A and B are shown apart, each in its own frame.
Chain A
Amino acid sequence: MTNIIEIENLSKEYETGFWKKKKTLALDGVSLEVGPGQIFGFLGGNGAGKTTTIKILMTLLFPTSGSAKILGRDISEVDMHRRIGYSPENPYFYDYLTPRELLAYFADLFGHDRSKSKAHIDGLLTKVGLDEKDWNKQLRKFSKGMLQRVSIAQSIINGPEVVFMDEPMSGLDPIGRREIRELIADLRSNGTTVFMSTHILSDVEALCDEVAILRKGKLAATGKLDELLVAEGRERTFEIIMKSISKNELENSLSGIAGMAIEEHPSGVTVKVIDENDVDKVLAAARKLGGRLISVNIVKQSLEELFVQETA
């Protein structure tokens, strides 16, 4: 399977200060591969290098070292940009234009036929949930959420094979977020690869097939979300919920289990153990004490926990 995005040892160093003597490493040897037809989540704290990476891929910044390919072609090949889309973080557009005019302008840049693009533009504006009464309003009158919708519309105007979205949910209300989430899922259904940076972890959990986590410009973790959350060395626990038994009774008969925690609640207890073999010990002890099993669950590390662990 050919990768859609291939990033190899990408670094970016900024020279700051009046004499440009102070150097800041924004991106430090990042290598990454993204396969086709998936939603790829690009995570990291503020200043981790997410936007820098996307800007390099969009040729807005030049890397200090390393290389990157999109759709098998070097990012410096301008013609490759016919096949990609980009929705920037905090989208900025010409505020004297209306959404229709902006999209018509961008359609022109792709060489689309004006007579045919009008219906396409209206379709896109409908798709991103922009109210028809706003289609002929100047963008300077738009809220952040409305601009975000316009931004997503312009990013898919050329029917791209891969779309780069930098914080696409930023500024959207819960309904807007849900609509855009559905739109992104639709893109994947149609075979479009989505490379998305976001801070909203619930969106990542709901949408992304694979993720990469950046920490201070370096790649801290990458892989399928499910695998990352239960990867070896990362904590997962077994949660045993029982009733008709007390915490004290259980504690007395279960001494010596490493990492065990028992919580008491009105109807019974919840026991948490790390080792799978300890589950049987807990169940045997509870049975002897007359306790009744309600459930045994594997509790995976949450994405939030993983995120905090990798970015802290």
Chain B
Amino acid sequence: MSDSTDKSSLFSRIFSIARNTFREAIRDRILYNLVLFVLLITACAVLLGELTDGQEARTIVNLGTNAILLFGVFISIFVGVGLVSKEIEKKTVYAIFAKPVRRGEFIVGKYLGLSLTLLVNTLVMAIGVALALLYVGGGSLISAAMGAVSLIYLELLIVIGVAILFSSFSSPALSALLTFFVFLIGHLSSSLRDLGESLGSAVTSVVLTSIYYLLPNLSLFSFRTEAANGMVANAQMIAGGALYAGAYVAVLLSLTVVIFSRRNFK
């Protein structure tokens, strides 16, 4: 078999696994969270205007982007940790690995499938925010909101990677907990580094600086408050975020593949 044929089938296998993961998410009614989001954003658009004294557009961006992050993180963690562990627990991997599928292809396919699910989820939510803004006459904030949403999606891509990595060697509950901690610390990592430097202890400084470099710096993707104030994330910021997220996800998935490739399925 030629190299090109092998490569094309490698991509088609990854694509098939991703498509099946997406289909699973749809059939497991994961996108039902959108209904809740639509209700929330509609209520916000209709009711909050009266309470916020003309600040309804700003409130919608604030509430909308935070809700997108919250819903997204929830799905990334709870679906992400189950992506691999559920397949092992339900023994569905048995038939997969008896076929010409490398374990790495499986991990990448599962990752892409959930990324696609979250892309659809985030896009629909973003459209909801845009419509709500149009409804309250805040169309000028749409581009600011969309910039923030793009950065949120990049952040979610990292969170999924973290969830898959943990689930490749620990239980779903522990993986969810650890991923949530990484998410929290990821938002505080810059502060932790500054804290380490200000405390004066060399050991603390090394530990906190190591955490800063080791864990993802998710504060890079926080642009929600700025967006509510009408600031638009520029292309350079989004491209930089995409590069950082891409590199971080590549490392996470590589580690996951290394761990998963050595795993016995008893």
- Residues of A with Cβ closer than 8 Å to B? 14, 55, 58-62, 78-82, 84-86, 88, 90-94, 96-97, 101, 105-106, 108-111, 151, 154, 158, 164
Contacts and interface: CB of A to CB of B under 8 A. Distances in A.
A151 B102 CA distance: 21
A82 B20 contact: no
B98 A84 contact: yes
A101 B262 CA distance: 30
Interface residues of B, number: 28
A88 B91 contact: yes
Contact of B100 (A14, A82, A93, A105): A82
B31 to A, nearest CB: 14
A217 B163 CA distance: 38
B181 interface: no
A25 to B, nearest CB: 14
Contact of B16 (A90, A108, A154): A108
Nearest to B93: A60
A86 B266 contact: no
Given A61-B266, A96-B24, A96-B28, A109 B99 contact: yes
Contact of A109 (B90, B96, B264): B96
Nearest to B1: A79
Contact of A91 (B13, B23, B95, B100): B95
A71 to B, nearest CB: 13
Contact of B94 (A88, A105, A106): A88
Q: Which residue among B12, B16, B23, B99 has the maximum number of chain A CB atoms within 10 Å of its CB?
A: B99
Given A60-B98, A86-B95, A96-B23, 15 more contacts: A55-B265, A58-B98, A60-B93, A60-B97, A61-B264, A78-B102, A81-B101, A88-B95, A94-B20, A94-B24, A105-B20, A109-B16, A110-B100, A111-B9, A111-B12
A82 B101 CA distance: 9
B231 to A, nearest CB: 43
Nearest to B15: A108
B147 to A, nearest CB: 36
22 contacts: A55-B94, A55-B265, A59-B98, A60-B264, A61-B266, A79-B1, A81-B98, A81-B100, A82-B100, A86-B94, A86-B98, A94-B24, A96-B23, A96-B27, A96-B28, A97-B20, A97-B23, A105-B20, A108-B13, A109-B17, A110-B100, A164-B98
Contacts of B16: 105, 108-109
A60 B265 contact: yes
Interface in B231-266: 262, 264-266
Contacts of B101: 78, 81, 109
